Homo-oligomer: A and B are copies of this chain.
Amino acid sequence: MQFHLNGFRPGNPEISEPSEPPTRTDALPGEVDVLIVGCGPAGLTLAAQLAAFPDIKTCIVEQKSGPLLLGQADGVACRTMEMFEAFGFSERVLKEAYWVNETAFWKPDDASRDNIVRHGRVQDVEDGLSEFPHVILNQARVHDFYLDVMRHSPSRLEPHYGRRLLGLRIDAAADAPSHPVTVKLERTDGAHETVKARYVVGCDGARSIVRQSLGRELRGDSASQAWGVMDVLAVTDFPDIRIKSLIQSAHEGSIVLIPREGGYLVRIYVELDQLNADERVSSRNITIDRLIAAAQRIFRPYTLDVKEVAWWSVYEIGQRLCDKFDDVGEAEAASRLPRVFIAGDACHTHSPKAGQGMNVSMQDAFNLGWKLASVLEGRCAPKLLHTYSAERQAVARELIDFDREWAKMLSAPLKSATERDGVEPAEVQRYFIRHGRYTAGTATLYKPSLITAAPDHQHLAKGLMIGMRFHSAPVIRLADAKPVRLGDAARADGRWRLFVFADRQAPFARLGALCDFLAGSPESPIRRYTPAHADIDSVIDVRAVLQQGHRELELEAMPELLLPAKGRYGLRDYEKLFCPDLKSGNDIFDMRGIDRDAGCVVVVRPDQYVAHVLPLDAHGELAAFFDGFMIVQA
């Protein structure tokens, strides 16, 4: 955390100074830059991201009358934790959440088919996949943390609750006004309001009115398998009650058991009936008692004495997807820029059992947020906005495919001595392990585009794959010898980052030459795209990692760009230089396959995805990459 740059200020440094005196009323503003519809995980991620930019006028509306208290989703993947760190609240989640350390697998006991028996237990996340664990926390608490980020931002952003979207209209004419999207909303007292927006984002769930206003729809399988889910406080002798467990019984169906935060609560997903074609589960009038009874049958020989039900629901599995996540049809993409987007459940729905829904929705918004901010702040060309639907629709399609297969596997009969047609129990476990990186959220790979380069120089950093999230590793900060996670440098602040890995030759001729280019050349992307009077790292933030131990290096010998003078006083920023953590044996150069002789530059997007890997002396190529989408500043 860096603070006091422009003068000492007492109090909580996480609470920014307000950009304007507080004048908030509950009335919606008439004109905004971005209107976000829906306060779910996607909407709040986007709002928190935009709140970092005090010059952008953001409004977020929600149909419900107040914040969520009981959440549906609860799985927080490793990749999502990395994003939470960028938003500054990972430590709160780490403290409060259940940590999924292992996963147990249960099958029918061959000796007594009515009973279940454990057939495996595996580490949930492979070693080294992320610096953060896979955790479980009530969605409502994730909302709370985002609301705090918004509340503490310079714009003091707060949602407007009790607003139902009636519809929206886009003026797509070439001479359309600056705020071409007109949105009609209804308050709970029946009054109507109109908001004009530059951009609208529908984070309004599976029945999204925004999506319907665009004439788009979710397409996919009809549901056929009913499931129930309950959060309970229970007494049981099931030994894995505090371990995530996949339980497949012989004749009574399956359970996915997810221990929950606080040490006592547990979530139990219970397989219920096969539904007829087009039948909805609501027609079956399933009660909580029936749900508990079904769980008790699957748990045999163990008992399950439910003392309190905190929340429960029944649902049918269906994998459905929207074919485009913005208002621009495939045919118009070259001629028209998007004005309205959809994110999260508004564009993809699937089963909850792989724990992906909330995570993918938040990543949708994280992908869109910096793009909207960059365009609104005049840093990037608006064509950048096309990449949102292109990147995220492909991710959603993979998710739908994965979920279909996983849900089928959990509902299929198991093979045994007497039943030969089913799935091998061990196969379920193997499938789970094989897809570990996927469910951790670290397998996402964006295709080459104007913001993701072709992998021409990937060999310089084999473990930092272009198109994938920047894989952090432990390092030592040179100036204060602090052990830190390198990836933590990537805050959710809309900045691009250059992680420069020096070659092994001190005194760093090529690193020096690169810094000279970046600091001084008229071709430098830093010179071209950073507004006058802004801090030198405010658009593109350069961090360097050297190969030597931190006591072998002299701070005075480092390029000035890496000790930049900033703020009203010209104070030096000492947090740009890092060394490997040689004492712990975790050398980032080895861990990420960096070419020690050549070094490299790793270009990281504001959403933490690797955009490019380049040789240290490819100054022109580096400049050309940014020229593809950034706007020269006066």
Contacts and interface: CB of A to CB of B under 8 A. Distances in A.
Interface of A: 1-5, 7-8, 10-13, 69-70, 91-92, 94-96, 98-99, 101-102, 121, 138, 140-141, 144, 231, 233-235, 237, 239, 241-243, 259, 261-265, 307-308, 310-311, 479-483, 551, 554-556, 565, 569-575
Given A101-B481, A235-B571, A480-B243, A3 B262 contact: yes
A13 B262 contact: yes
B233 A95 contact: no
Contacts of A96: 1, 13
Given A3-B261, A10-B140, 9 more contacts: A3-B264, A4-B265, A8-B233, A11-B69, A91-B92, A91-B94, A99-B482, A233-B569, A235-B572
Contacts of A554: 239
B99 A91 contact: no
Of listed A94, A264, A575, residue having the most chain B CB within 10 A: A264
A7 B233 contact: yes
8 contacts: A4-B264, A8-B231, A8-B308, A13-B262, A235-B569, A237-B556, A263-B575, A264-B571
A138 B235 CA distance: 46
B481 A102 contact: yes
A263 B101 CA distance: 34
Describe A's contact surface by its main secondary structure. loop
Contacts of A308: 7-8, 569
Contacts of A551: 121
A323 B335 CA distance: 86
Contacts of A555: 239
A104 B628 CA distance: 47
Copies in the complex: 2
Given A8-B310, A551-B121, A483 B3 contact: no
Nearest to A481: B101
Contacts of A574: 241-242, 263
Nearest to A3: B262
A8 B69 contact: no
A126 to B, nearest CB: 13
A569 B480 contact: no
Contact of A243 (B98, B481, B565): B481
Contacts of A235: 565, 569-572
A262 B2 contact: yes
Centre residue among A10, A70, A91 by max chain B CB count within 10 A: A10
Contacts of A140: 10
Contacts of A261: 1, 3, 13
B233 A263 contact: no
A20 to B, nearest CB: 24
A264 B565 CA distance: 11
Nearest to A236: B572
Contacts of A92: 91
A4 B233 contact: yes
A239 B141 CA distance: 43
Contacts of A69: 10-11
